[in-house]
Amino acid sequence: MDKKNGFSLILFLLYLFLFSSITVCICTMFTSLVLPTITNTRQCRSLMALHIASDLFFNDIQQAKKSSIVWQKTTDNEIIWSNKDVSIGWKIDKNTLKRKEGIYSLEKWKKATTCVIADRMEYGKFRIEKHNGIIMALSCSLAITQDKIVECYVALVPISSS
Amino acid sequence: MRMRYKPGLLLIELLGGLTMFILCTVIITHYIIVVKNSQQQTLKRMEKISFLRNEYEKALVKNYMNNG
C-alpha cells in the first residue's frame, strides 16, 4: 500500500479558517444586505398598490364628475354616490379598501358587486371638504405604516375655462 | 482483497465549489438589489405624479374659492 501524506494540521486549520471566513462574509452580506432589501421591496410593493388604489379612486370620481353626482353617504370610512342609474361606494373596512357598484337605495345595497382594491393597510380615511354646505373636494388617505401614507385629493369644483 | 485507493475531494475542487457558491450568491444578491432599485425608482415616479396631481387639484379648489 502506498504511503499517503494527506493534509497537515496547519493546512487543515488554514482551510478551515478560510472556509469559515468566507461563510461568515456571505452570511453577513445576506443578513445586512439581502434581508433588508427583501423587506424594502415588500414595502415598496405595498406602497405601489396603495398608489394604484388611489389612482382608481381618483379616476372613479373623475368619471362621476362628468355627470351629476348625488351624494348618498359621506363619512370618514365610507362614501357613496349615485349617478344616473348606478351607485358607487368606497369603503374602508377592517384595513381593506373596497369598492361597491350597484343600486343603493334606502341605505341598503341591492345587486352590488364588491371589489377589494387594497388590503393590509394600517389605516385609511376619507375626508370631505365642504364650503357653504357644498362638497368642494374629497381626499382619501391610505397608510401601510405610520409614516408611509398615500394621499389622493380630488377637486369636485368645475374647471374654469379662463 | 486488494484495497482501492480513493483520492477523495481535492482542495482545488473544494475551492472551485466554494467559488461557484459565492458567485451564485453574488448574482442572486445583485439581481435582488437591481429589482429593489427599479421598484424604488418606479415608486418615486408614482409619488411625484401623485404629489403633483394633488397639488393641481388643491390649486383648482383654491382658485375656485378665491374667484367665488
> Can you tell me whether residue B25 is helix, strand or coil?
helix
Per-residue model confidence as pLDDT tens digits over A61-71: 988 887 778 88
At B20, the amino acid letter reads: M
Q: What is the pLDDT, as a whole number, of residue A139?
A: 92
ipTM score of complex? 0.76
Q: Does residue B65 belong to any structural domain of this protein?
A: yes
Q: What does pLDDT average to over chain A?
A: 85
Q: Does residue B40 belong to any structural domain of this protein?
A: yes
Produce one character per residue of A31-47: b if its CB has 16 or more CB atoms within 10 Å, e if not: eeebeebeeebeebebb
Q: Does residue B41 belong to any structural domain of this protein?
A: yes
- Spatial separation of the C-alpha atoms in residues B35 and B56, rounded to whole Å: 32
Q: Does residue B48 belong to any structural domain of this protein?
A: yes
Q: Does residue B12 belong to any structural domain of this protein?
A: no
Query: Can you name the residues that pair with A102 across neighbouring β-strands?
Result: A87
Per-residue model confidence as pLDDT tens digits over A111-145: 889 999 988 888 899 999 888 888 889 999 999 88
| CA dihedral for A130, A136, A142, A148, sign (positive or negative) | negative
Q: In A, which residues are within 8 Å of B2 by CB distance? A: none
Residue identified by cell 487543515 is: A12
- Tally of domains in chain B: 1
User: CB–CB of A153 and B32 under 8 A?
Assistant: no
Minimum CA–CA partner of B37 in chain A: A41
Q: Does residue B14 belong to any structural domain of this protein?
A: no
Q: What is the pLDDT, as a whole number, of residue A160?
A: 57
User: CB–CB of B39 and A51 under 8 A?
Assistant: no
Q: Does residue B59 belong to any structural domain of this protein?
A: yes
Q: In A, which residues are within 8 Å of B47 by CB distance? A: 51
Residues of chain B below pLDDT 70: 1-10, 68
Q: Does residue B6 belong to any structural domain of this protein?
A: no
List chain A domain ranges. Answer: 10-155
Which residues form the domain of B54? Answer: 30-68
Per-residue model confidence as pLDDT tens digits over A77-113: 899 998 878 899 999 988 899 999 998 888 888 888 9
Instruction: Say whether residue A115 is in contact with chain B using an 8 A CB cutoff.
Output: no
Q: Measured at the alpha carbon of residue A118, what is the angle toward residues A51 and A149, in degrees to the nearest 5?
A: 45
